[in-house]
Amino acid sequence: MSNSEQAKIWKCDVCGYEYRGSEPPEMCPQCGAERVHFKSSASPVQRVVIVGAGIAGVSAAEAIRDDKSNATVTLLSDEVHLPYSRMNLTRYLAGEVNLDKLDLHPQSWYQENQIELYLKSPVTTVDPKQKIVRLADGREFAYDTLLLTNGAHPFVPPIAGAQTPGVQTLRTLEDADAILAAMAQPINVVCIGGGLLGLEVAGAISRRGAKVTVVESLAWLLPRQLDEAASHILQAKIEAMGIQVIVGARTQAFVGDGRVRAVQLEDGRELPADLVVISAGVTPNLDLARQAGLTVNRGIIVDEHMRTSDPQIYAAGDNAEFHGRLYGLWIPSKKEGAIAGYNAVNHEKIFNEDPPSARLKVLGIDLLSVGQITLQEGDKVLAQQTNGNYASFVFHEGKLVGAILLGDTSLAVLVQNAVDAHQDFSQALAQGITTAEFMQLLRN
Ligand SMILES: Cc1cc2nc3c(=O)[nH]c(=O)nc-3n(C[C@H](O)[C@H](O)[C@H](O)COP(=O)(O)OP(=O)(O)OC[C@H]3O[C@@H](n4cnc5c(N)ncnc54)[C@H](O)[C@@H]3O)c2cc1C
């Protein structure tokens, strides 16, 4: 199967239904009229092929249909499931979300919107000269415009024994199911990495009855989202849940015969482990882009239209690098995907950078970390700690550029908006405003 013949619009002369494809359908899906009732329009239709059906790819398809464009949309996924919410996999692991709630859209949505979704269809080659993508099984899809939204895969540090059965990562639904299968009996689990994903995995697994230890090599948890003071409060909250936390410790090896038995730390400690989950960041999937000759750095370089160095190819999501930044986050991936989709069908939409923003799910600990949290020269910070809650605000030249709210996040929306807008508080700062007064000022 392929779309290499030029696609056309076929209109049903009984009900007006429009079908896009190289041939008319056997039967009108709307009124049931036979194939002979379909008449083709003369002009060829733009063919958009999207590689990767995560949130970026699906958002691109949504944007193309939102635009009411006539383009044919082919969405190619190497996964076996309907496109699902990767972000909610930790909630699924924790038992907060059922399998049937993970889908981004029901199957019928793709049909109703005439998005040709092909599952189990890994793309192996992009030929930008012939404008064709090839699949592992030999199928070919021709495109006028190509979107590379094929995401990222987990980074696994080069630690001895990392390939031992029982040592795994969490990126796909299959990964989550493998972790759940291992949870059938009470076990010791070591989570390598104390970032957002590592902590959510730890929380989810702990709720399933496992004895969990988190190992973070840097000096404190969530080093990219929290300052040290906030991190100590967070650590205390997590330890109060029965999760052991070890910071500033590097992993030396995963040991076990046939299956992992323990994690050895460089300081000589050995932690019993029936399962190890590594959450050490992601590596963008760049093979297709490299092989297509696109300009690539840490990610595929895109401009504010999400256009790559080939004007007929766009990229978005975890594999795209914009202004030196790879977000690795849900909201930016969704936004970038939509921008790529609109621009693929001749819009002029521009991606506006937002300060990165993070929240913690699953653990039941309210947290917002947004924008810049480390101080640069001349920056001013307001911070306070009350009743196990923590708030800190970073100002650059009087403008709010970053904030942490831990425990009490009732100001989250106001803080997020003020950081996004780089709101100017120079006057209040000059008057020596306290943290409590500043929070009151935001509320008013
Ligand atoms: C468990 C988990 C929890 C997370 N929680 C949060 C959170 O709370 N907040 C947040 O902001 N972010 C979170 N993230 C990160 C967020 O999910 C990602 O940033 C986002 O999913 C990236 O979307 P994407 O579409 O760019 O890539 P992906 O979701 O990786 O989708 C890419 C798709 O392309 C497919 N693909 C790859 N190569 C090919 C090929 N050659 N042919 C065909 N298909 C291919 C992949 O299998 C995949 O289905 C979480 C991530 C994980 C794993």
Q: Return the pLDDT at 1.
A: 47
* Cα of 172 from ligand 1 centre, angstroms: 8
Reading the block at residue 145, the tokens are 């415009």
Q: In this structure, which residue's CA is closest to atom 50 in ligand 1?
A: 87
Q: Return the pLDDT at 5.
A: 58
For residue 248, count other CB atoms closer than 10 A to its CB. 11
Cα dihedral value 199, 200, 206, 207, nearest 10: 150
Instruction: Determine contact, residues 315/148, Cβ cutoff 8 Å.
Output: yes
Same domain, 67 and 146: yes
161 is a domain residue: no
36 is a domain residue: no
Is beta strand 275-278 parallel, antiparallel or unpaired with respect to 188-192?
Answer: parallel
Average pLDDT of adjacent 10-residue blocks, the chain of 444 residues? 64 82 87 88 84 98 91 97 98 96 97 96 97 96 97 97 97 97 90 97 95 97 94 96 97 96 97 97 98 98 98 98 95 97 92 87 94 92 94 97 95 95 96 97 92
Q: In this structure, which residue's CA is closest to atom 30 in ligand 1?
A: 151
Same domain, 393 and 292: no
Same domain, 331 and 370: no
157 is a domain residue: no
Same domain, 232 and 294: no
Instruction: Determine contact, residues 33/15, Cβ cutoff 8 Å.
Output: yes
CA 67 and chain centroid, separation? 24
* Cα of 284 from ligand 1 centre, angstroms: 10
User: Using CA atoms, how far apart are residues 9 and 12, in angstroms rounded to an integer?
Assistant: 10
Q: Return the pLDDT at 71.
A: 94
Instruction: Determine contact, residues 219/188, Cβ cutoff 8 Å.
Output: no
Same domain, 287 and 256: no
For residue 174, count other CB atoms closer than 10 A to its CB. 11
Q: Return the pLDDT at 29.
A: 86
Q: Return the pLDDT at 43.
A: 66
Of 280, 296, 323, the position where a domain reaches its end is 280
202 is a domain residue: yes
Same domain, 262 and 276: yes
DSSP state at residue 31 = T
Same domain, 172 and 255: yes
**Helix, strand or coil for residue 179?**
helix
302 is a domain residue: yes
User: Using CA atoms, how far apart are residues 401 and 379, in angstroms rounded to an integer?
Assistant: 10
Q: Which atom of ligand 1 is nearest to the CA of 331?
A: 11
User: Using CA atoms, how far apart are residues 422 and 349, in angstroms rounded to an integer?
Assistant: 22
Q: In this structure, which residue's CA is closest to atom 17 in ligand 1?
A: 87
Instruction: Determine contact, residues 133/76, Cβ cutoff 8 Å.
Output: yes
The residue written with tokens 């040290």 in the block is: 228
Q: Return the pLDDT at 134.
A: 97
CA 121 and chain centroid, separation? 21
Same domain, 173 and 237: yes
Q: Return the pLDDT at 310.
A: 98
* Cα of 318 from ligand 1 centre, angstroms: 7
Q: Which secondary structure element, helix H or strand E, spans residue 197, and what is its range? A: helix 196-207
Reading the block at residue 259, the tokens are 């299956």
ipTM above 0.95, yes or no: yes
Pocket of ligand 1, beta carbon within 6 A: 51-57, 76-79, 86-87, 89-90, 122-123, 149-152, 170-171, 197, 285, 288, 317-318, 328-331, 333, 361
CATH code for position 426: 3.30.390.30
Is beta strand 72-76 parallel, antiparallel or unpaired with respect to 115-118?
Answer: parallel
DSSP state at residue 173 = H
CATH code for position 306: 3.50.50.60
Domain limits at 217? 167-280
* Cα of 160 from ligand 1 centre, angstroms: 27
The residue written with tokens 């040592």 in the block is: 167
Same domain, 146 and 291: yes
Same domain, 198 and 223: yes
- Count of domains for the chain: 3
User: Using CA atoms, how far apart are residues 165 and 95, in angstroms rounded to an integer?
Assistant: 24
Residue 181, CB-side half-sphere exposure with 13 Å CA sphere:
8
* Cα of 152 from ligand 1 centre, angstroms: 6
Of 291, 310, 344, the position where a domain reaches its end is 344
Amino acid, res. 338:
A
Q: Which atom of ligand 1 is nearest to the CA of 152?
A: 30
Same domain, 275 and 171: yes
Same domain, 130 and 200: no
